[in-house]
Amino acid sequence: MTERRGAVEVGTSDPGAKLSARRVVVEPYGIELGPLGHLAEERQRLATPRFDHIGVIPRGTTVGAEITGVDLRSNLSDQVIGDLKRALLDYKMIYFRDQPISSEQHIAFASRFGDLEIHPFIGSNTDHPELVRFEKSADTGGFENGWHHDVTWREEPSMGAVLHAIEVPTTGGDTLFSDVAAAYDGLDESTKSRVADLYAIHDFMLAFGAQVPPERMEATRAKFPPARHPVVHTHPDTGRKLIYVNRYFTSHIEGLPVDESIALVNMLAERSEIVEYQFRLTWEPHTVAFWDNRSVQHYATSDYWPDVRIMERASIIGPRPL
């Protein structure tokens, strides 16, 4: 970069010329600048998909791929399902365009990957309790605009979720996904050491407690007690380490003073906010997204009020995080 004032040369090079793949912190605001070099190997691995029964178009750096050549209304072969499972593990979030599936077809597809959960706090499709229904309008605002894994307050949180866009606004209403394996890899070694053996307590009360009538609180508490999960979860299929706390459901980190716990959860949760870890999906009618609820956190933008946005989600029960 060169700035000239009269005949005086002030600068002679790009300020990033000597940074290579190194991240730097710029004071006094503590902002991080520079490339995230640790993404390169995964990005290059994912750049050339190799699947026999589906088309895969990478759309994000390390998360997000569009699937082609698949009709979710049909009875998919085991070979196609096998490729989709592998694509989900690789790209963490996959999506399909132009899939006008019925509720029954939605449930049938999601069930190919495991048993489906029933959500106790969010309204469902009237005829199909397996489908959580998000119907937003001028009368009902969207409050999903925070980074989170789904239902970490369960002893066995979701393995994944299949979300069908039934009606979407002309603009707005995108959903962002952030790669929490990449976010973990980007932590410095001292932080990795600090969080390695910590456990967090997750509780439905933070997000859903106000919905439970007082007379049903004791029974609901007994059915859904606070869940204890590792702060760093090891993915059961890929073996990768993942940040597994969020500000929707994480009550506190076990054994830490309150202020220290809040600060650590905030710092770890903020890693999902780094744009380089993200993929942003712009919905179209009958887009279907399928994400690995262990490998990504997601954020549904609430920028479309008072327009209508209707989505339905089937969630697949997963194993207990380890």
Tell me the catalytic residues: 148, 150, 298, 313
Interatomic CA distance for residues 225 and 245, integer angstroms: 17
Structure tokens at 202: 């997750």
Interatomic CA distance for residues 220 and 82, integer angstroms: 37
**DSSP H or E run through 31:** strand 31-33
Taking alpha carbons only, the member of 213, 185, 229, 241 closest to residue 37 is 185
What percentage of the chain's residues is helix, strand, coil (to nearest 5)?
25, 30, 45
**For residue 189, which amino acid is it?**
E
Interatomic CA distance for residues 152 and 297, integer angstroms: 11
- Phi-psi category of 6—alpha, beta or left, where left has phi over 0 and alpha has psi -120 to 50? left
Which residues touch 176 (CB under 8 Å, ≥6 apart)?
278, 279, 280, 281, 298, 299, 301
**DSSP H or E run through 184:** helix 180-185
